[in-house]
Structures are given as C-alpha cells and as structure tokens.
Amino acid sequence: QVQLVESGGGSVQAGGSLRLSCAASGYMFSRHCTGWFRQAPGKEREAVATVDSDGRTNYADAVKDRFTFSQDNAEKMLYLQMDNLEPEDTAMYYCAADIRESFNKLWARNAGECAHNYWGQGTQVTVSS
C-alpha cells in the first residue's frame, strides 16, 4: 500500500524557515515524478517544487531561491527546505508522486509526463508578518 506522510509544518514569522518531510512507502522509491504542492484557502492548488521523469527539479517562480527540494533515497524521504518564508507562503503543503505498476511492482514513473496519482494528507504552514 502506497503511503506518503508529510510532517514538519507549523507557524513561523516572516523570514523564518521550516523543513517539510515526506515519508514514502509501499513502492520502489525514487525522486522521479515527485513533488511538493500547496493550496491556500480560496485558491487553487499549485506546484511548488516538482521533479520530472528525467529527474530535473522545477520550482515555482514565487519560491525560487528560497525553497529547496531534496531526497534521501535510503530513507525514502522527500524534503522541502523553506527559507525566508513570507506570509504568502501560508498554505497546506502536500507531497505527491506518480506511481505505476510494472512487472507486478509499484515504481515511480521515470518516463513521459508526470501525473501525480498519490498524495499525502498535507501539513499546514502558517507564516505571520
């Protein structure tokens, strides 16, 4: 059973930092086609940092140079280091992955366009001014 479990959210003041974690299990882990997304009240969900099927990381313009995506393959963890946080970063943050079955196993997609089909429950980030 695939599970993505986020943690690390909280309340900070503007300029502060948080590190979000996502524990992945139930499939052959890799960073390909994984990502962090967020959704603020009354707004649509948006991509924050995503990794494509070739392993390249893409950041939303609003978070470039402030957020950093990383992973620990041995621990099957995804991370989002968030520095210099702004009130506009307040949102529920989700990790997601595109996982497909092949040869009776579940794998992270590593070819073609990512379509995130597994999501965590989210972790709340609140930034006050």
Instruction: Kindly give the confidence (pLDDT) of every residue in the chain, 129 residues in length, as a single tens digit, with 9 standing for 90 and above.
Output: 999 999 999 999 999 999 999 999 999 999 999 999 999 999 999 999 999 999 999 999 999 999 999 999 999 999 999 999 999 999 999 999 999 999 999 999 888 889 999 999 999 999 999
DSSP E strand stretches across 1-129: 3-7, 10-13, 18-25, 34-39, 46-51, 57-59, 67-72, 77-82, 91-97, 99-102, 105-108, 118-119, 123-128
**Which pLDDT score, from 0 to 100, does residue 4 have?**
97
